[in-house]
Amino acid sequence: MDGYPFEHRVRVRFAETDAQGIAHHASFVVWLEEARVAYLAAFAGGYRAIRDGGIEALTTAVHLEYERAAAFDDVLAIGVRCAEIRGARFRYEYAVERDGVPVAHGWTAHATVDAATHRPTRVPGWFVEDVLRAEASPPLPAATPEASQASAAPRPPARR
Amino acid sequence: MDGYPFEHRVRVRFAETDAQGIAHHASFVVWLEEARVAYLAAFAGGYRAIRDGGIEALTTAVHLEYERAAAFDDVLAIGVRCAEIRGARFRYEYAVERDGVPVAHGWTAHATVDAATHRPTRVPGWFVEDVLRAEASPPLPAATPEASQASAAPRPPARR
Amino acid sequence: MDGYPFEHRVRVRFAETDAQGIAHHASFVVWLEEARVAYLAAFAGGYRAIRDGGIEALTTAVHLEYERAAAFDDVLAIGVRCAEIRGARFRYEYAVERDGVPVAHGWTAHATVDAATHRPTRVPGWFVEDVLRAEASPPLPAATPEASQASAAPRPPARR
Amino acid sequence: MDGYPFEHRVRVRFAETDAQGIAHHASFVVWLEEARVAYLAAFAGGYRAIRDGGIEALTTAVHLEYERAAAFDDVLAIGVRCAEIRGARFRYEYAVERDGVPVAHGWTAHATVDAATHRPTRVPGWFVEDVLRAEASPPLPAATPEASQASAAPRPPARR
């Protein structure tokens, strides 16, 4: 996805829909987190590396704008970029698309705290370096449709 | 709650916590919706009245800033006000507190659409009137402990 | 509710519905937990008392049979009884009704473990006594509309 | 997985954990549904084919036994088999494993109803045939570790 070094895919679960027949708006918040975790796994040793370092990353803000409804079983591509890291704070930006059509976009803000004391603590240096390197790189090679399908659920194409 | 004509209470469910030992940030999005629904039930005939009128209210944006963590079994008070109604759009603002201490605040934006065609349709006049009346009124009388419980639980049938 | 010493009420959230227009079946699992927590708060010092004693109660089985669909905004009454306590294991039974009409019933099984070692540890004696006393008692007085609301919302602090 | 013609993989989301530091027991109910949907996509034209035929499949029972805790970021393999189809009813069985070690097992029961009238209606013949053929077949070829990783999230291996 243009402008995003990383792309994660989710398939809308039936449990994530609501009585309007579309994906519930709170589901997107969970998907952004899953995309963020996948970004960290790809570029910065994973969220577990952060937690293993005695640090927790708290979410301090969520902002989401919904452009189109998503439906059950839709495969959504989520572009992720780390837009800012400063002291004990960092910020992610996201774009959610279905087949190249915008569905939603937004950002989340985070603060790193010491897991024991819950006091703010600077984002670890290795994390900053890994993220800067990721953001400076060209995007990961565009996934083929089949591979991207595979990302949300291993299944042969439906035949009916 | 100062500046809010309506207050709704929720108790944090165990299922709403996460491995950081606190309420997951996506849970707040669900609570704001519950608070909004309770506001509508108190002032505007309930969300069902809107749906019964062949109208769906879509959520077009969510913005949340988290100030303090909430824990399992915490009782949170959510102040709700309708900050703007214009054409087919309206907007709610919220403050979340625990024992008078700020936990989070935010806003949500909504658009009314025809349930059948999904085309934008003006917010119904009776809805606007009910909400304006609610917002012009003094806050509902400071809730006694028993009455405040009412907001999270069975309410008398809506009047429409 | 006949045969249940305790009754808890929930109101179906919009986020808990799915594209079939009814409450998603996984939502019931969360409601049973909320009802169990409310039962513990009413009779046995609350779930926090258990956790404060260095014990975690794990869920080892869930069984649910769905008789009727529940819809958005429905108020459901959940009857709860502790059907068995033996060693490090206990078991709850539930009936879910809407206006006296059965919606679902089921049971959950639990094991108490030491929070630090995660080894099975006997259910605390005071817990057994409190629960036996609760189960031997007549049901809590038929709730007035106001009082029944209490079960879904702010409760006075537990006595332990 | 032995005895299951189909296997689906999920990666535990952070939002699916709880304050016990493990995956919340209700999350499994959602995963079983996702696995069932993937099974239908692989063998029977997908859940959408059923809904497109004017039929809804309701969940009438859920039974889950938890053997081990699952943690954030765990990749779980879910074996799925359709154990019975009779009239308007069918039943699925599941085993959940992590690296070949049992985590949970259970079953779900379902009824097909006419989407418009909500009256019971026989499971469509093509569905029965597709499922019987699937169940008679050897399991889908065992996924390589890389491919199975891909199923839950497209990500290069973490390097720390």
**Strand, helix or coil for residue C11:** strand
Tell whether A22 is within 8 A of chain C (Cβ). Answer: yes
Question: Are B28 and B91 spatial neighbours (Cβ–Cβ below 8 Å)?
Answer: no
Contacting residues of B for D26, CB less than 8 Å apart: 15
In this prediction, residue C43 carries a pLDDT of 85
Residue B70 vs residue C145, higher pLDDT: B70
Place of tokens 């119904």: B124
Token couple for C34: 């909320």
pLDDT of C159 above 70: no
In this prediction, residue A26 carries a pLDDT of 98
Mean pLDDT of the region D61-86:
96
Gap between the Cα atoms of D143 and D149, Å rounded: 9
Mean pLDDT of the region C144-156:
37
Secondary structure (H, E, C), chain A: CCCCCEEEEEECCHHHECCCCCECHHHHHHHHHHHHHHHHHHHCCHHHHHHHCCEEEEEEEEEEEECCCCCCCCEEEEEEEEEEEECCEEEEEEEEEECCEEEEEEEEEEEEEECCCCCECCCCHHHHHHHHHHHHCCCCCCCCHHHHHHHHCCCCCCCC
Q: Which residues contact D26 (CB under 8 A, 6 or more apart)?
A: B15, C26, C29, C30, C33
Decide if D147 and A154 are in contact by the 8 Å CB cutoff.
yes
Token couple for A15: 């449990």
Decide if B66 and A59 are in contact by the 8 Å CB cutoff.
yes
Mean pLDDT of the region D31-43:
94
In this prediction, residue C45 carries a pLDDT of 77
Token couple for B96: 């979340």
Size of interface A-C (CB pairs under 8 A): 29
Question: Are C36 and C29 spatial neighbours (Cβ–Cβ below 8 Å)?
Answer: no
Gap between the Cα atoms of C34 and C11, Å rounded: 12
**Residue in B20, B63, B66 closest to A63 by CB:** B63
Beta-carbon-side half-sphere exposure of residue A126 (alpha carbons within 13 Å): 11
Our CA-based measurement puts residue A39 at a distance from the nearest CA of chain D, in whole angstroms, of: 8
Mean pLDDT of the region C79-100:
95
Token couple for C158: 């537990």
pLDDT (tens digit per residue) in B30-47: 999 999 999 999 887 777
Contacting residues of C for D56, CB less than 8 Å apart: 20
In this prediction, residue C75 carries a pLDDT of 97
Say which DSSP state B140 is in.
Answer: S
pLDDT (tens digit per residue) in B72-116: 999 999 999 999 999 999 999 999 999 999 999 999 999 999 988
Confidence of residue C144 (pLDDT cuts 50, 70, 90): very low
pLDDT of D154 above 50: no
Decide if D15 and B24 are in contact by the 8 Å CB cutoff.
yes
The number of angstroms, rounded, from the C-alpha of C90 to the middle of its chain's C-alpha atoms is 13
Our CA-based measurement puts residue B150 at a distance from the nearest CA of chain C, in whole angstroms, of: 6
In this prediction, residue B118 carries a pLDDT of 84
pLDDT of B128 above 50: yes
Tell whether B21 is within 8 A of chain D (Cβ). Answer: yes
For residue A26, give the chain C residue with the closest CA: C15
**Residue in C25, C56, C58 closest to D62 by CB:** C25
Confidence of residue B139 (pLDDT cuts 50, 70, 90): low
Q: Which helix (H) or strand (E) holds B91?
A: strand B89-98
Class of CATH domain D6-152: alpha beta
N-term to C-term CA, chain C = 27
This model of the complex carries an ipTM of: 0.86
Report in angstroms the alpha-carbon separations of B135 from B31, B39, B54, C56, C140: 21, 11, 25, 46, 39
Substitution target from B18, B22, B29, B72 for chain D, most D beta carbons within 10 A: B18
Decide if C30 and D26 are in contact by the 8 Å CB cutoff.
yes
Decide if C66 and D58 are in contact by the 8 Å CB cutoff.
yes
Token couple for D55: 């039929």
Q: Which helix (H) or strand (E) holds D80?
A: strand D75-86
Tell whether A14 is within 8 A of chain C (Cβ). Answer: yes
Decide if A29 and B25 are in contact by the 8 Å CB cutoff.
yes
pLDDT (tens digit per residue) in A37-72: 999 998 877 777 888 888 999 999 999 999 999 999
pLDDT of A148 above 50: no
Amino acid at A117: T
Residue C159 vs residue B72, higher pLDDT: B72
Q: What percent of chain A has pLDDT over 90?
A: 62
Q: Which helix (H) or strand (E) holds D135?
A: helix D125-136
Question: Are A89 and A78 spatial neighbours (Cβ–Cβ below 8 Å)?
Answer: no
Q: What percent of chain B has pLDDT over 70?
A: 86
Our CA-based measurement puts residue D95 at a distance from the nearest CA of chain C, in whole angstroms, of: 14
Mean pLDDT of chain D: 86
In this prediction, residue C153 carries a pLDDT of 38
For residue A20, give the chain B residue with the closest CA: B56
Chains contacting B (3+ CB pairs below 8 angstroms):
A, C, D
Our CA-based measurement puts residue A84 at a distance from the nearest CA of chain D, in whole angstroms, of: 22
Secondary structure (H, E, C), A130-159: HHHHHHHCCCCCCCCHHHHHHHHCCCCCCC
Beta-carbon-side half-sphere exposure of residue C130 (alpha carbons within 13 Å): 19
Tell whether A26 is within 8 A of chain C (Cβ). Answer: yes
CATH code at C6-148: 3.10.129.10
Longest dimension (CA), chain C: 46
In this prediction, residue B150 carries a pLDDT of 36
Could you say which residues from 65 to 94 on chain B have a Cβ atom under 8 Å away from some Cβ of chain C? 72-73, 75
Confidence of residue B17 (pLDDT cuts 50, 70, 90): very high
Decide if B152 and C150 are in contact by the 8 Å CB cutoff.
no
Sheet with C89-98: list strands edge to edge: C6-11, C75-86, C89-98, C101-114, C55-66, D55-66, D101-114, D89-98, D75-86, D6-11
Say which DSSP state B130 is in.
Answer: H
Class of CATH domain B6-150: alpha beta
pLDDT (tens digit per residue) in D82-91: 999 999 999 9
pLDDT of A89 above 50: yes
Chains contacting C (3+ CB pairs below 8 angstroms):
A, B, D
Q: What percent of chain B has pLDDT over 90?
A: 62
